[in-house]
Amino acid sequence: MSVDKSTKAARGTVQCENTNINLLKANDYVADIIKSEMKKNKTLLINVTSSAGSGKTTLMQKTAEKLKDKITMAVMVGDLETERDAERIRETGIQALQIVTGGICHLEAQMVHQVLPEYQLENIDLLFIENVGNLVCPASFDLGEDYRVTLMATTEGDDKPKKYPRMFLTSDLMLVSKSDLLPYLPFSVDAVIKDAKEVNHQIEVMQISALKDEGIDAWCDWLLEKVKQKQNN
Amino acid sequence: MHETSIVNSIMKTLEVEFEEEKLNKMIAIYLKVGKLSNIEPRLLHNAFTAKHYCGTKFHHVKLHIESTEIKIQCESCNHITQIENYKFTCENCHKPSKNLIQGEEMLIHKIEFND
pLDDT (0 to 100) of residue B57? 75
Q: Which chain A residues have a beta carbon less than 8 Å from that of B88?
A: 169, 198-201
Residues 6 or more apart whose Cβ sits within 8 Å of residue B14: B23, B26, B29, B58, B108, B111
What domains are there in chain B, each with its CATH number?
A: 2-113 (3.30.2320.80)
With a cut of 70, which residues of chain A have pLDDT below it? Answer: 1-14
Residues A169-202: pLDDT tens digits?
A: 999 999 999 999 999 999 999 999 999 999 999 9
Using CA atoms, how far apart are residues A68 and B86, in angstroms rounded to an integer? 39
Q: How far is the alpha carbon of B113 from chain A, nearest alpha carbon, in Å?
A: 5
Q: Identify which of A14, A21, A165 has the shortest CB distance to residue B108.
A: A21
A1 vs B: CB within 8 A: no
pTM above 0.90, yes or no: no
As beta bridge partners, residue A128 has A46, A75
| ipTM value greater than 0.95 | no
Indicate the helix (H) or strand (E) that contains B44. Answer: helix B41-53
CATH number belonging to the domain at A23-232, selected among 3.30.230.20, 2.40.240.10, 3.30.2320.20, 3.40.50.300: 3.40.50.300
The structural domains of chain A, with segments of one domain joined by +, span: 23-232
Using CA atoms, how far apart are residues A204 and B21, in angstroms rounded to an integer? 51
| CA proximity to A150, closest of A49, A81, A29 | A49
Residues 6 or more apart whose Cβ sits within 8 Å of residue A71: A125, A126, A224, A227
pLDDT (0 to 100) of residue B115? 76
Digitized pLDDT (tens) for each residue of chain B, 115 residues in all: 578 888 888 888 888 888 888 888 899 999 999 999 888 899 899 888 887 777 677 888 999 999 999 999 999 999 999 998 899 999 999 999 999 999 988 899 999 998 7
Q: Which chain A residues have a beta carbon less than 8 Å from that of B33?
A: 23
Give the amino acid at A37: E
Judge whether A61 and A88 are in contact, CB under 8 Å: yes
The chain B residue lying nearest A169, using CA atoms, is B98
Indicate yes or no: CB of A17 within 8 angstroms of CB of B113.
Answer: yes
